[in-house]
Amino acid sequence: MATIATLSSSPSVPSRTDAVLDHVTKRLISHGHTVTPIVLRDLPAEPLLRGQADHPAIAAAAAVLEAADAVVVTTPVYKAAYSGLLKVFLDLLPQYALKGKTVLPLATGGTPAHVLVIDYALRPVLTSLGAGAIGQGWFVLSSHIHLYDGGGVLLDQAASVPLYQVTEAFLATVEGEQVIESGPVQLAAVEAIRVRPEDPEAAPLLSDLVVEYSSRYGRINENTQLTEVPASDFHVESGGAFVLLRYGGQTVAGGAIRRYDDETAEVKRMWTSHLHRRQGLGRRVLAELEAAAADLGYRRLYLTTGPRQPEAAGLYLAAGFEPQFDTSVDPESIGPLPFTKEIPVALKVAS
Ligand SMILES: Cc1cc2nc3c(=O)[nH]c(=O)nc-3n(C[C@H](O)[C@H](O)[C@H](O)COP(=O)(O)O)c2cc1C
């Protein structure tokens, strides 16, 4: 496993750039890597501005960088370039401080006019510091980053999908693996399988949900860690089912049901890979779960989704679920949003 340093270079608190970095950091940790943050605004200002590279705090930050195998460099766009805070720190580093290191550059900015800032401003200075492989990086528009009071960040799909791709490419370089390419899925070639949550094919779904939930809700608790119900609830012998969609040897989507009451199955663990969203895979998972519920003798489906999952609520409405809450009210003021769906009789007879 690798040691990855992250550079946070916005002077602001809260920082949208830090929120993006926090999201990416959770994904790096979920791959088993050790992540060590360097928060530049927390370094003492005077030694930074006076070029005192031998100050203990500056030297310690430089040592973290030196010890890292890879670095995530983040910056807000200020005046069409990277932040001054980042520049004063980089100026204190030895000439080839990034020698041989894999680097992922990320930026946030207020206008698409500066979408190329990584390439025209940041990449040259990273190259000058000797960086080994500099990843593609990504510029996230600040209007695509939604921060919540008390923590948590929701990224619009326009940001979360490319961010996932560049992070996966960075991880593949760090881990010496092949990058998994995204692209349209041939729905006819997608296979649905019923597994147990402990099976290795379910691991991508479970680890990605932990990243997404802990990032969106800004906390680590039994709900974001998926320990709120035992995995055995999804075993067939407990009245549950765990369905995965597989395509090209990969798990691309999935979901599960558990017994809610004698007549009702609760849908949990709904997930579609970031590489394959908006292609109907979520609808297919729901159809497979409905069939599994019918097989187990249930008459209806019930689920709750969190207020920070607008794409999930849209999917359930499109799949014929009835909201059991006032849809005109701000979801944040409600909390968990309940939906139900009666299982059509034909499906039950067919089973
Ligand atoms: C002093 C200043 C200068 C900025 N200049 C630019 C700019 O030139 N181009 C741009 O796209 N955004 C610019 N922005 C907007 C920030 O890049 C954007 O809001 C960013 O997401 C802030 O990140 P932070 O919350 O981590 O500080 C500027 C913001 C500030 C405060």
- Predicted local distance difference test score (pLDDT) of residue 184: 87
- Predicted local distance difference test score (pLDDT) of residue 347: 58
17 in contact with ligand 1, CB cutoff 6 A: yes
Distance (Å) from CA 77 to ligand 1 centroid: 5
111 in contact with ligand 1, CB cutoff 6 A: yes
Distance (Å) from CA 306 to ligand 1 centroid: 30
CA distance linking residue 221 with residue 209, whole number of Å: 13
- Predicted local distance difference test score (pLDDT) of residue 348: 52
Tens of pLDDT, residue by residue, the chain (351 residues): 999 999 999 999 999 999 999 999 999 999 999 999 999 999 999 999 999 999 999 999 999 999 999 999 999 999 999 999 999 999 999 999 999 999 999 999 999 999 999 999 999 999 999 998 999 999 999 999 999 988 999 999 999 999 999 999 999 999 998 777 777 899 999 999 999 999 999 999 999 999 999 999 999 999 999 999 999 999 999 999 999 999 999 999 999 999 999 999 999 999 999 989 889 999 999 999 999 999 999 999 999 998 898 889 999 999 999 999 998 989 889 989 999 999 987 655 454
Strand partners, 242: 195, 256
Q: Counting Cβ atoms within 10 Å, is residue 32 exposed (0-12), middle (13-18) or buried (19+)?
A: exposed
16 in contact with ligand 1, CB cutoff 6 A: yes
Mutate to test the pocket of ligand 1, among 111, 142, 146, 156 (most ligand atoms within 8 A of CB): 142
Mutate to test the pocket of ligand 1, among 13, 77, 114, 117 (most ligand atoms within 8 A of CB): 77
74 in contact with ligand 1, CB cutoff 6 A: no
Give the residue, by CA position, lying nearest to ligand 1 atom 28.
78
Q: What is the DSSP string of 222-291?
A: TTTTT-SS-GGGGSGGGT-EEEEEEETTEEEEEEEEEEEETTEEEEEEEEE-GGG-SSSHHHHHHHHHHH
Give the residue, by CA position, lying nearest to ligand 1 atom 22.
76
Distance (Å) from CA 79 to ligand 1 centroid: 7
Q: Which helix (H) or strand (E) holds 39?
A: strand 34-39
Q: Which structural domains are found in the chain, ordered by start? A: 3-175 (3.40.50.360), 187-342 (3.40.630.30)
- Predicted local distance difference test score (pLDDT) of residue 331: 87
Strand partners, 36: 5
Q: What is the pTM of this model?
A: 0.92
Distance (Å) from CA 308 to ligand 1 centroid: 25
CA distance linking residue 237 with residue 2, whole number of Å: 40
CA distance linking residue 276 with residue 190, whole number of Å: 12
